[in-house]
């Protein structure tokens, strides 16, 4: 793929309703989600609450429930839903011809979510 | 010389009619010409090239042609006369192979060269052929043009089996056609639900059920590994990634389309996914326009005809000097399979700022979902009743504020537009007394109101007194409205529902799963009118458990509805690592096991090794990727998962008992081991702990366990409902039995009763308190056959549960759950 998109492999490697991880050397790990409705999203794999690994949460609709304390995070916006506050950086993602691509500069240039130290 | 000229300038410059060449004799190409002719018939001398050897026809009607509902002649849009009457030269069956932009001419395969002043590219799309081994065998066809249909019809004439790869619109229409033509059709679809780009999970599920009931086999989540040949270059079947083989004499590839940009790219026109065009459909060359599926406009490529009509209008406006500009389209989809009503439009993937309104009517097989954002409709999915599809679509396209009709919106135009009736309470109030509220039980409005006036002040009370809404529940909303209208503020809150996605309680859901024989999560959600499309993190694990308990051996555990610990068979820790606890039967271990644990602790860098409060050893700080390997090592030493992570049987704690202890009355350790071997692996509403003490000194703390045994000289005292956790509860004595076998049977029966009766996430202590010790005792002890029946059900279910989850994972199952997808190293700048 040309341009600054990073090919991370075929869509089939992530079961719908789940997520898989992409460690980035020198930076935070990224979680790539596949929702039950077939959409793909990528977030920094760090919960804004206490750094829980979002990739391990239950995916419902287009949100994920953090496995540590059950905060719900929107996969679309990275915002924490409901009464809690916070936000996780999202990584632009596109699917083309059955493969998943992440925006290279976002993968490499991401910073820790607000609130995380 | 090459400075871009406007149409007008070049026309005046030429003096004569300009030459317009169109590449593509399909839906967009010809429509563009029609639109131009309608505006200015004398402006251009027109030549149309078509790769297909025929006149222009309505491609979308190929589906009815395949299904035998139409003939080719019925679907022709422009016959030969149209070309003649309008002075158009049609070059059919001769595809253009080169665009020479410098000389402003196109060259066809035959060598024919035609110069142009303006060029329109309308090459449509190419079907995407998945490059699996065998994709080039004879009998592998696509579904794009009449030749494809003829190939399929020839194959269908001999009957036999067909496989359609792709469960989208095209694939399902192909499958429908082929099965009407007498073939046995299997649809193989990569995604978990059919038409996932147009339908949500719920509607996809209904569609699948309907197609299956018509005799098609639908395999979702199925990935094609290869197409198998018969040895003579022809198709014999396909093989899936999981090894399944399906026989087929024809394989239809309907896995998607790609804008046909080859020609444009070769000519150096700017292309991304499609040929890049501006709002006037002009490409990067001002003399070259492009239209239809081959273009990319404002970042989007379309695969439906509606946008193409709009594009053609804009193109013609521009080409005749009245530029209007195309601004992109909102699309909607209908499936052309007779007898199936299905409509989808816009964005229904939901999201933080969006709100869903869902209506399900299980009895009539209806599912409707409207997605709102900022009081505007942004998407809709309708199944079973699509009458209001166009209305929703219209509101959506006009971006109308629907806040005034929001309450009644989901009931459709007739209801919502009824002025005052837009408020469902008002609508219900306006009903006559003999209007039927509950169809299942034939209860009229008058009867419901009377029972409310007689004191039924909650939904549950209404259900109990007059049976309205007590069966399928689809009239729950109406009953609630009646309560509100009749009592105003005095309505009592109903019992707690399972979660915010449903108005049913845990007990309702469990009862209905059995009564209606519901065997899959989407089916429960549909039949029980879930108000969200795919549930939440509260109801999914609960439903998964209820189904697992109700249908042992039949229901397939849904991993994505499980909490991480149960999915990964280890406890997640606050730093994202995991702890690993192997089972130590009854608290017994051996030097061998201890050695294996020590080795594993070193090998996988366990940062802490701790003896737990449950008489076994916990290894902390293990990485997700290392889990299968550490389990393999522990398995090799004979140990299995301790389920320290599960809503499942945890530990069976024992004391030394009669074997060593001077007070021991029975072999408490031996009984503990037997109990653990009988019960391990069982999924429960919550965690479940057992202990066996050898005498009333009770060193194993059996009287604060879910099931505790205290051995005495004359036998075994059985205790239930203890809890040592947040709120300590001492057990109640269930009964005393004489033999070890009885102790085992009573334990099995008690567990099964708990499994079948308790709410998800309710431990035995709160459960016993809620239903009452007397009830539990009565259910177990009053009926002489009860113990035997319950224990038998438990043992049956255990035949499916007792395979070590660690062994399966160590053996490679679901390695995707443990491994990273890839790694990124900034220096190399590459994914590995
Ligand atoms: C490891 C252990 C502590 C220890 O080092 O001894 C432990 C550790 C945890 N306990 Fe426990 N409990 C452990 C024995 C106990 C005991 C003692 C016992 O079983 O005899 C109790 C009280 C007895 C009881 O359950 O009635 C106990 C009552 C709880 C509770 C409160 C349960 C309740 O009904 O009130 C929780 C919270 C929950 O389950 O929701 C809990 C939850 C937890 C969790 C799972 C918290 C969590 O979700 O992360 C801890 C997991 C740590 C891990 O990763 O392994 N743990 N926990 C013990 C593991 C036993 C084993 O071998 O499997
Ligand atoms: C079976 C089927 C059912 C469908 N059902 C629906 C539906 O229900 N609703 C809906 O909205 N849409 C439907 N579609 C999609 C719809 O048909 C397309 O969106 C529409 O045809 C696109 O028009 P187009 O002119 O861009 O491409 P096409 O109609 O494909 O026309 C392109 C033409 O260009 C020709 N061509 C390509 N390259 C060259 C070349 N180098 N030289 C000369 N000619 C060339 C091709 O042979 C083709 O005839 C369906 C499609 C199919 C195949
Ligand atoms: S007592 Fe609390 S802190 Fe200690 S292991 Fe149990 S849950 Fe964790
Ligand atoms: S760390 Fe995610 S909810 Fe606490």
Q: Which of A60-74, B12-26, B678-692 has the highest mean pLDDT?
A: B678-692
Is the CB of B351 less than 8 angstroms away from the CB of A13?
no
At residue B458, the pLDDT reads 81
User: pLDDT value at position B832?
Assistant: 40
Q: Which residue of B534, B624, B821 is in closest CB contact with A32? A: B821
B98 min Cα distance to partner chain A (Å): 25
**In which band, very low, low, confident or very high, does the pLDDT at B494 lie, cut at 50, 70 and 90?**
low
pLDDT of B466 higher than 90: no
Q: Which residue has the higher pLDDT, B244 or B818?
A: B244
Q: Is the pLDDT of residue B567 over 50?
A: yes
Query: Would you say residue B377 has pLDDT above 50?
Result: yes
Ligand 2 and B60: CB distance under 6 A? yes
Q: Which residue of A has its CA nearest to B355?
A: A61
Task: Kindly report the nearest CA distance between residue A25 and chain B, in angstroms.
Answer: 5
Residues B301 and B227 in one domain: no
Secondary structure E strands in B202-299: 217-219, 224-229, 235-240, 245-247, 250-253, 257-259, 275-277, 288-290, 295-297
Entry pTM: 0.64
Both B167 and B234 in one domain: the answer is yes
Q: Which pLDDT score, from 0 to 100, does residue B304 have?
A: 86
Partners of B118 in the β-ladder: B20
> For the stretch B432-469, what's the b/e string if a residue is b when 16 or more beta carbons lie within 10 angstroms of its beta carbon?
eeeeebbeebebbbebbbebbeeebbbbbbbbebbbbb
Largest CA distance in chain B: 120
Domain harbouring B305, CATH code: 3.50.50.60
Q: How far is CA B664 from the centre of its chain?
A: 56
- Whether residues B534 and A36 touch (CB distance < 8 A) is answered with yes
Nearest to B120 by CA among B308, B250, B299, B305: B308
Rounded to an integer, the average pLDDT of B414-423 is 57
* Statement: A5-109 belongs to CATH 3.40.30.10: no
Number of H helices, E strands in chain B: 28, 40
Is residue B576 domain-shared with residue B618, that is, in the same domain? yes
Domain count, chain B: 6
Lowest-pLDDT range, A79-83, B157-161, B373-377, B379-383?
A: A79-83
Are B821 and A13 within 8 A, CB to CB?
Answer: yes
B124: CA distance to ligand 2 center in Å?
A: 5
Cβ contacts of B320-325, under 8 Å, gap ≥ 24: B320/B7, B320/B36, B320/B39, B320/B40, B320/B43, B321/B6, B321/B7, B321/B8, B322/B39, B323/B280, B325/B279, B325/B280
Give a yes or no: residue B327 inside a domain: no
E strand intervals along B679-755: 688-693, 707-712, 715-720, 732-737
Half-sphere exposure of B775 (CA within 13 A, CB side): 10
- CA–CA gap between residue A40 and residue A55 (Å, rounded): 13
B729 and B742 together in one domain: yes
Closest ligand to C-alpha of residue B764 is 1
Dihedral of the alpha carbons of B134, B140, B144, B150, in degrees to the nearest 10: 160
- Closest partner residue to A37 (CB to CB) among B201, B559, B823 is B201
- Per DSSP, the three-state class of B664 is coil
Say if the Cβ atoms of A58 and B823 lie within 8 Å: no
pLDDT score at B389: 81
| B11 membership: H or E segment, kind and range | helix B7-14
In a domain, B97, yes or no: yes
Look at residue B319 in the predicted model and tell me its pLDDT. 94
Closest to B820 (Cβ–Cβ): which among A21, A39, A60? A21
Q: How far apart are CA A82 and CA B98, in angstroms?
A: 58
Q: How confident is the model at residue B5 (pLDDT cuts 50, 70, 90)?
A: very low
pLDDT band, very low/low/confident/very high, at B386 (cuts 50, 70, 90): confident
Q: B294 CA to middle of ligand 2, Å?
A: 9
Distance CA B425, CA B407 (A): 9
Asked whether residue B761 carries a pLDDT value surpassing 50, the answer given is: yes
In this prediction, residue B423 carries a pLDDT of 61
* Residue ranges per structural domain of chain A: 5-109
User: pLDDT by residue (tens digit) across B81-135?
Assistant: 999 999 999 999 999 999 999 999 999 999 999 999 999 999 999 999 999 999 9
Mean pLDDT of all residues in B561-581: 91
Question: How far is residue B67 from each of residues B58, B175, B194, B336, B342, measured CA to CA in Å?
Answer: 15, 9, 20, 10, 18
In this structure, the residue with its CA closest to atom 39 of ligand 1 is B687
Same domain, B348 and B384: yes
DSSP code string of B124-176: -EEEPPP--TTTTSBTEEESSSHHHHHHHHHHHHT--EEEEE--SHHHHHHHH
Domain boundary among the residues B422, B437, B459 is at: B422
Q: Is residue B20 part of a domain?
A: yes
User: What gap in Å lies between CA B407 and CA B419, rounded to an integer?
Assistant: 12
CB pairs under 8 A between A and B: 143
* Distance from the A98 Cα atom to the nearest Cα atom in chain B, whole angstroms: 10
In ligand 2, the atom with minimum distance to the C-alpha of B291 is 26
Residue B291 placed within a domain: yes
| pLDDT tops 80 at residue B826 | no
Chain-chain contact of B820 with A14 (C-beta, under 8 angstroms): no
* Residue B800 confidence (pLDDT) above 80: yes
Q: How far apart are CA B123 and CA A63, in angstroms?
A: 40
Pocket of ligand 4 (CB under 6 A): A 47, 49-52, 66, 68-71
What integer is the mean pLDDT of B324-340? Answer: 83
Give the span between the Cα atoms of B721 and B718, in whole angstroms. 11
The lowest-confidence range among B196-210, B363-377, B585-599, B815-829 is B815-829
C-alpha span between B147 and B93 (Å, rounded): 12
pLDDT band at A59 (very low <50, low <70, confident <90, very high): very high
Atom of ligand 4 nearest to the CA of A71: 3
User: Same domain, yes or no, for B476 and B515?
Assistant: yes
Using pLDDT thresholds of 50, 70 and 90, give the confidence band for residue B473.
Answer: low
Q: Which ligand is in closest contact with the Cα of B610?
A: 1
The domain in which residue B180 lies consists of: 140-255
- Confidence class for position B604, pLDDT limits 50, 70, 90: very high
Q: What is the pLDDT of residue B792?
A: 97
- Same structural domain for residues B770 and B788? yes
Please indicate, yes or no, whether residues B165 and B282 belong to a single structural domain of this protein.
no
The yes-or-no verdict on residue B263 having pLDDT over 90 is yes
Q: How high does pLDDT run on average in chain B?
A: 89
> Does any domain span residue B514?
yes
> Average pLDDT over chain A, rounded to whole?
86
Residue A22 is nearest to which of B196, B541, B820, comparing CB atoms? B820
In ligand 4, the atom with minimum distance to the C-alpha of A66 is 2
**Could you tell me if B413 and B438 lie in one domain?**
no
Query: Cβ contact (<8 Å) for B831 and A37?
Result: no
Whether B808 is in a domain gets the answer: no
**Residues 6+ positions from B481 with CB-CB distance below 8 Å:** B424, B425, B427, B428
- Indicate yes or no: CB of A60 within 8 angstroms of CB of B534: yes
| Per-residue tokens: B819 | 């491994």
Question: Which residue from A19, A57, A63, A69 has its CB within 8 A of the most atoms of ligand 4, so it is best to mutate?
Answer: A69
- Taking each helix axis from N to C end, the angle separating B786-801 and B740-757, rounded to the nearest 10 degrees, works out to 80
Q: What is the DSSP string of B531-582?
A: SSSS--TTHHHHHHHHHHHHSTTTSPP-GGGS-HHHHHTSEE-TTS-EEE-B
Q: Give the model's confidence band at B239: pLDDT under 50 very low, under 70 low, under 90 confident, else very high.
A: very high
B165 neighbors B253 (Cβ within 8 angstroms) = yes
B824: which strand partners?
Answer: A24, B831
Helices (H) and strands (E) in chain A, counts: 1, 10
Q: What is the CATH number of the domain that holds B709?
A: 3.30.413.10
What pLDDT band is residue B11 in, cutting at 50, 70 and 90? Answer: very low
* Closest residue in chain A to residue B831, using alpha carbons only: A8
Domain membership of residue B519 (yes or no) is yes
Query: Percentage of chain B with pLDDT > 70?
Result: 93
Encode pLDDT of B162-182 as tens digits.
Answer: 999 999 889 999 999 999 999
pLDDT at residue B142 in the model:
95
Question: In chain A, positions 19-78, which contact chain B (CB-CB < 8 Å)?
Answer: 20-27, 30, 32, 35-39, 50-53, 56-63, 65, 67-68, 70, 72, 74, 76-77
Which of B214-218, B408-412, B492-496, B505-509 is least confident?
A: B492-496
Q: Are B59 and B26 in contact (CB under 8 A)?
A: yes
User: Which residues of chain A lie closer than 8 angstroms to B353, CB-CB?
Assistant: 77
Taking the C-alpha atoms of residue B461 and residue B748, their distance in angstroms, rounded to an integer, is 36
pLDDT band at B506 (very low <50, low <70, confident <90, very high): very high
Strand-pairing partners, residue B47, are B21, B89
- For position A112, what pLDDT does the model report? 40
- B533–A57 C-beta distance less than 8 A: no
> Residues B309-325: what's their mean pLDDT?
93
Please state, in angstroms and rounded to a whole number, the distance separating the CA atoms of residues B788 and B780.
Answer: 10
Local confidence band at B4 (pLDDT 50, 70, 90 cut-offs): very low
Q: Could you give the angle at which helices B459-466 and B445-453 cross, rounded to 10 degrees?
A: 110
Say if residue B194 is in the same domain as residue B312: no
Residues with Cβ within 8 Å of B490's Cβ and at least 6 positions away in sequence, in order, are: B457
User: Do B690 and B748 meet the contact criterion of CB atoms below 8 Å apart?
Assistant: no
CATH for B573: 3.90.480.10
Nearest listed ligand to the Cα of residue A47? 4
pLDDT of residue A101: 93
Question: Are B675 and B794 within one domain?
Answer: yes
- Candidates B558, B565, B570; CA nearest to B521 is B558
């Amino acid at each position: 793929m040309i341009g600054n998109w990073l090919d991370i492999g075929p869509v089939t490697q992530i079961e719908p309703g789940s997520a898989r991880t992409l460690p980035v050397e020198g930076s935070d790990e990224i979680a790539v989600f596949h929702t039950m409705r077939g959409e793909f999203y990528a977030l920094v794999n760090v919960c804004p609450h206490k750094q829980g690994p979002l990739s391990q949460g239950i995916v419902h609709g287009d949100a994920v429930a953090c496995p540590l304390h059950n905060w719900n995070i929107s996969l679309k916006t990275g915002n924490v839903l409901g009464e809690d506050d916070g936000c996780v950086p999202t990584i632009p993602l596109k699917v083309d011809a059955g493969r998943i691509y992440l925006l290279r500069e976002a993968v490499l240039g991401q910073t820790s979510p607000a609130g995380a130290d | 010389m090459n400075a871009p000229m406007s149409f007008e300038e070049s026309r005046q410059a030429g003096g004569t009619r300009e030459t317009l060449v169109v590449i593509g004799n399909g839906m967009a190409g010809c429509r563009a010409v029609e639109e131009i002719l309608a505006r200015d018939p004398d402006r251009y001398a027109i030549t149309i090239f078509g790769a297909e050897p025929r006149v222009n026809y309505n491609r979308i009607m190929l589906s009815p042609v395949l299904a035998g509902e139409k003939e080719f002649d019925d679907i022709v849009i422009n016959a030969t006369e149209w070309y003649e009457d309008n002075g158009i030269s049609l070059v059919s069956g001769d595809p253009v192979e080169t665009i020479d932009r410098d000389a402003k001419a196109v060259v066809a395969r035959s060598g024919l060269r035609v110069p142009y002043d303006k060029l329109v590219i309308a090459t449509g799309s190419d079907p995407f052929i998945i490059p699996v081994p065998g994709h080039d065998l004879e009998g592998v066809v696509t579904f794009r043009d009449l030749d494809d249909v003829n190939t399929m019809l020839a194959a269908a004439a001999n009957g036999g089996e067909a496989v359609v790869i792709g469960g989208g619109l095209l694939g399902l229409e192909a499958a429908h056609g082929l099965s009407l033509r007498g073939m046995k059709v299997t649809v193989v679809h990569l995604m978990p639900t059919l038409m996932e780009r147009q339908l949500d999970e719920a509607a996809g599920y209904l569609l699948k059920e309907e197609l299956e009931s018509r005799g098609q086999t639908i395999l979702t989540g199925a990935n094609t590994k290869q197409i198998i040949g018969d040895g003579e270059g022809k198709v014999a079947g396909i093989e899936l990634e999981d090894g399944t083989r399906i026989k087929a004499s024809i394989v239809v590839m309907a896995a998607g389309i790609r804008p046909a940009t080859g020609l444009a790219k070769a000519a150096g026109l700017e292309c991304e996914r499609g040929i890049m065009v501006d709002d006037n459909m002009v490409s990067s060359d001002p003399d070259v326009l492009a239209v239809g599926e081959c273009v990319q406009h404002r970042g989007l490529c379309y695969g439906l005809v509606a946008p193409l009509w709009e594009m053609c209008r804009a193109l013609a406006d521009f080409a005749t000097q009245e530029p209007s500009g195309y601004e992109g389209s909102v699309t909607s989809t209908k499936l052309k399979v007779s007898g199936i009503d299905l409509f989808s439009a816009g964005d229904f993937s939901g999201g933080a700022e969006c709100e869903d309104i869902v209506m399900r009517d299980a009895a009539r097989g209806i599912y409707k979902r409207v997605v709102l954002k900022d009081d505007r409709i942004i998407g809709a999915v309708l199944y079973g009743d699509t009458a209001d599809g166009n209305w929703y679509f219209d509101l959506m396209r006009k971006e109308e504020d629907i806040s005034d009709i929001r309450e009644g919106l989901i009931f459709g135009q007739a209801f919502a537009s009824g002025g005052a009736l837009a408020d469902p309470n008002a609508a219900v109030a306006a009903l006559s007394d003999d209007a039927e509220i509950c169809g299942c039980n034939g209860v009229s409005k008058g009867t419901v109101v009377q029972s409310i006036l007689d004191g039924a002040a909650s939904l549950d009370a209404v259900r109990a007194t007059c049976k309205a809404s007590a069966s399928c529940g689809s009239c729950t909303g109406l009953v609630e409205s009646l309560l509100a209208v009749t009592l105003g503020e005095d309505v009592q809150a109903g019992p707690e529902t399972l979660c915010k996605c449903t108005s049913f309680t845990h007990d309702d859901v469990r009862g209905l799963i059995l009564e209606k024989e519901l065997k899959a999560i989407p089916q429960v959600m549909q039949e029980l009118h879930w108000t969200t499309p795919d549930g939440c993190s509260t109801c999914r694990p609960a439903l998964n458990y209820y189904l697992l308990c109700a249908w042992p051996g039949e229901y397939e555990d849904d991993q994505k509805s499980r909490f991480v610990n149960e999915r990964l068979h280890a406890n997640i820790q606050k730093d994202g690592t995991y702890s690993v606890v192997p089972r130590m039967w009854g608290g017994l271990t051996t030097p061998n096991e201890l050695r294996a644990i020590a080795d594993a602790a070193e090998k996988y860098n366990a940062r802490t090794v701790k003896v737990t409060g449950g008489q076994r050893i916990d290894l902390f700080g293990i990485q997700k990727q290392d889990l299968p390997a550490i389990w393999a090592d522990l398995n090799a030493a004979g140990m299995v998962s301790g389920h320290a992570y599960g809503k499942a049987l945890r530990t069976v704690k024992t004391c030394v008992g009669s074997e060593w202890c001077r007070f021991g009355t029975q072999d408490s350790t031996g009984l503990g081991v037997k109990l653990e071997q009988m019960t391990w692996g069982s999924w429960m509403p919550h965690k479940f702990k057992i202990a066996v003490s050898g005498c009333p000194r009770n060193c194993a703390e059996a009287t604060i366990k879910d099931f505790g045994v205290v051995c005495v000289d004359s036998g075994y005292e059985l205790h239930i409902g203890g809890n040592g956790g947040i709120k300590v509860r001492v057990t109640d004595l269930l009964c005393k039995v004489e033999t070890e076998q009885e102790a085992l049977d009573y334990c099995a029966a008690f567990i099964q009763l708990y499994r079948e009766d308790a709410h998800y996430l309710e431990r035995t202590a709160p459960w016993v308190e809620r239903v009452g010790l007397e009830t539990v005792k009565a259910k177990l002890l009053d009926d002489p056959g009860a113990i035997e029946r319950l224990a038998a059900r438990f043992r049956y279910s255990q035949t499916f549960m007792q395979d070590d989850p660690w062994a399966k994972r160590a053996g490679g199952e679901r390695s995707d759950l443990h491994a990273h997808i890839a790694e990124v190293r900034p220096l190399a700048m590459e994914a590995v």
